[in-house]
């Protein structure tokens, strides 16, 4: 397995995948991922024309042809977006498909004249990593270094352009030049990339590593590094699989492995993954439900003037809540010694009373803050307080109390219950 051809293919795909991932990260963050896809498709006519007009086997000609076609496509998309009422998605897919169609037209012309086979032009469609030659490898290494150098040189500019283009222009950055540099880098990345994975799947090398990396980190340098790592592992995996299984194409396997990384990251990543976000939402909902129940019990005690118990049925009526959710919450509260179950229903423990009192206090403090400081009408503030009572931290509570001068009653003349210490 470790013959020179395999090593060559492995090195080539590693270089390509990681450098494309780094360049793609910026367009991913800018929300323009598919422009890279369009450029990849649009390179086809440039590459074929370069073959017709120049020496097709020389990588230099191909790169120049690709560069010109890519720049035309990029500025074509920008022109359509800015000067017509067509939306960006239409501009992108229009340029993508018509350029590609023109490329196919030229390619069939070349193939009819019988030169196509020598040029191996079909490798641009789905890529042919196995055909990487030693010369290619030198060119790839050079380009990969050039790409990384370009990103390093323009790092600040790219970063600003990505997050806030208007701001970048306002502080006097040459946004046109930066954009041009970025486009050139993208075209270079794509030119090299399509020889491995092909025009159609190039988008995956630009987009998927970033989508995967973004769900693990919010820090740009770390994201670039992670994206490059994901891409490298995918290149490694894809090359191994295609070497181990007969006839299997390398490019599509790299893309499949990348897709696996992407989708699993989006699902399982801590904090930003889908599961983590669902868990967080559930725990927030849970907390709100618990606090609401404790508040309800505290309110009942307050009205009765003494500790009393409430049946689950009465709670359902009062909070218009589902019975199932309620029994689950009650069970949890019982386990944490916040409520006790008695023959006549559920009652607060001392611990639960402190917690219920806290929620009621926050509710009333916030109502008072809204009327006193923000001038809201007393009959509009209840829904706001229903939300804020679950959010306010002890620190903010202390600040509000200080700001309002240790108030005694809320806008509805209900007492604000403080802890007696």
Partner 1 sequence: MSPTLAIALTAIFTAISCAVLGAFLVLRKMTMVGDAISHAVLPGIAIAYLLSQSRASLPMFVGAALVGVFATVVIEILSKKWKVQSDASIGMTFTTLFALGVVLITYWSDKVDLDQECVLYGEIAFVPFNTWTLGGKSMGPIALWSSGILLLMVLVYTLVGFKGLLMSSFNEDYAAVLGIGIGAWNLSLMSMVSLATVVSFESVGAILVVALLVAPAATAYLVSSQLKRMIALSALFGLSGSLGGYLLSAALDTSIAGGIATTLGIQFAVALTLVQLRKK
Neighbours of 9 (CB within 10 A): 23
78 lies in the site for partner 1, by CB under 8 A: no
Q: How far is the CB of 295 from partner 1 (least distance, A)?
A: 32
Residue 33 binding partner 1, by CB under 8 A: yes
Tell me the window of 130-138, 175-183, 204-212, 360-368 that interacts with partner 1 (CB under 8 A).
204-212
Q: Does 165 bind partner 1 (CB under 8 A)?
A: no
User: What sign does the dihedral 159-165-167-173 (CA atoms) show?
Assistant: positive
Q: Residue 247, interface with partner 1 (CB under 8 A)?
A: yes
- Give the chain's count of helices (H) and strands (E): 19, 2
23 binds partner 1 (CB under 8 A): no
β strands within 207-360, DSSP E: 339-342, 345-348
Length of the chain: 421
Binding of partner 1 at residue 248 (CB under 8 A)? yes
Alpha carbon distance 9, 254 (integer Å): 12
- The reply on whether position 264 binds partner 1 by CB under 8 A is no
Q: Which CB, 173 or 256, lies closer to partner 1?
A: 256
Please report whether residue 183 would count as binding partner 1 according to CB under 8 A.
no
Cβ atoms < 10 Å from Cβ of 79: 12
Question: Could you tell me the smallest distance in angstroms from the CB atom of residue 17 to partner 1?
Answer: 13
- Nearest distance in Å: CB 74, partner 1: 15
Closer CB to partner 1, 155 or 274, in the complex: 274
C-beta of 34 vs 293, nearer to partner 1: 34
Instruction: Write out 374-397 in H/E/C secondary structure.
Output: CCCCHHHCHHHHHHHCCCCCHHHH
In this complex, which beta carbon is closest to partner 1, that of residue 249 or of residue 411? 249
In the complex, the smallest distance separating the C-beta of residue 27 from partner 1, rounded to whole angstroms, is: 8
Residues forming beta bridges with residue 341, ordered by sequence position: 346
Contacts with partner 1 by CB under 8 A: the residue count is 59
φ/ψ of 401, rounded to 5, equals -60, -45
The label of the residue with tokens 């994975």 reads 197
Phi-psi category of residue 148: left, alpha or beta, with phi > 0 → left and psi -120 to 50 → alpha? alpha
CB under 8 A: which stretch of 4-12, 25-33, 360-368, 395-403 binds partner 1?
A: 25-33
Contact between 158 and 178 (Cβ < 8 Å): yes
What is the dihedral sign for C-alpha 247, 252, 254, 258?
negative
168 binds partner 1 (CB under 8 A): no
Q: Which residues bind partner 1 (CB under 8 A)?
A: 28, 31-34, 37, 41, 80, 83-87, 89-90, 92-94, 96-109, 112, 122, 125-126, 200-201, 203-204, 206-208, 210-211, 247-249, 251-253, 255-256, 258-259, 262-263, 266, 274
């Amino acid at each position: 397995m470790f013959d020179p051809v395999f090593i060559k293919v492995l090195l080539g795909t590693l270089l390509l995948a990681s450098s494309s991932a780094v360049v793609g990260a910026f367009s991913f963050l800018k929300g323009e991922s598919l422009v890279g896809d369009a450029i990849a498709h649009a390179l086809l006519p440039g590459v074929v024309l370069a073959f017709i007009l120049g020496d097709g086997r020389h990588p230099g000609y191909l790169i120049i042809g690709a560069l010109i076609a890519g720049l035309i496509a990029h500025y074509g998309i920008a022109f359509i977006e800015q000067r017509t009422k067509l939306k960006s998605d239409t501009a992108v897919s229009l340029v993508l498909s018509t350029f590609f169609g023109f490329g196919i037209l030229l390619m069939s012309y070349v193939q009819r004249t019988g030169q196509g086979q020598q040029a191996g032009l079909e490798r641009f469609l789905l890529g042919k990593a196995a055909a990487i030659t030693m010369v290619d490898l030198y060119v790839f290494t050079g380009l990969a270094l050039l790409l990384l150098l370009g990103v390093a040189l323009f790092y600040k500019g790219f970063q600003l352009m990505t997050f806030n283009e208007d701001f970048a222009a306002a502080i006097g950055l040459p946004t046109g030049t930066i954009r041009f540099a970025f486009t050139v880098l993208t075209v270079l990345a794509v030119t090299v990339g399509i020889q491995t994975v092909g025009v159609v799947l190039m988008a995956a090398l630009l987009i998927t590593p970033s989508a995967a990396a973004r769900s693990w980190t919010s820090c740009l340098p770390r994201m670039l590094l992670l994206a490059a790592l994901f891409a490298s592992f995918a290149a490694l995996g894809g090359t191994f699989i295609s070497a181990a299984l007969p006839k299997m194409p390398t490019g599509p396997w790299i893309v499949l492995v990348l897709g696996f990384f992407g989708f699993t990251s989006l699902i399982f990543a801590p904090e930003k993954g889908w599961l983590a976000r669902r868990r967080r939402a559930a725990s927030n909902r849970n907390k709100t439900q618990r606090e609401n129940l404790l508040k309800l019990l505290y309110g009942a005690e307050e009205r009765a003037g003494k500790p009393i118990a409430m049946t689950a049925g009465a709670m359902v009526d009062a909070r218009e809540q589902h019975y199932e959710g309620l029994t689950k919450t009650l069970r949890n509260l019982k386990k944490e010694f916040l409520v006790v179950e008695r023959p006549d229903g559920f009652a607060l423990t001392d611990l639960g009373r402190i917690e219920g009192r806290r929620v009621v206090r926050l509710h009333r403090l916030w109502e008072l803050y809204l009327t006193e400081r923000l001038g809201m009408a007393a009959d509009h503030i209840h829904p706001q307080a229903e939300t804020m009572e679950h959010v306010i931290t002890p620190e903010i509570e202390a600040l509000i109390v200080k700001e309002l001068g240790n108030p005694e009653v809320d806008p509805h003349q209900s007492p604000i219950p403080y802890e007696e210490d």
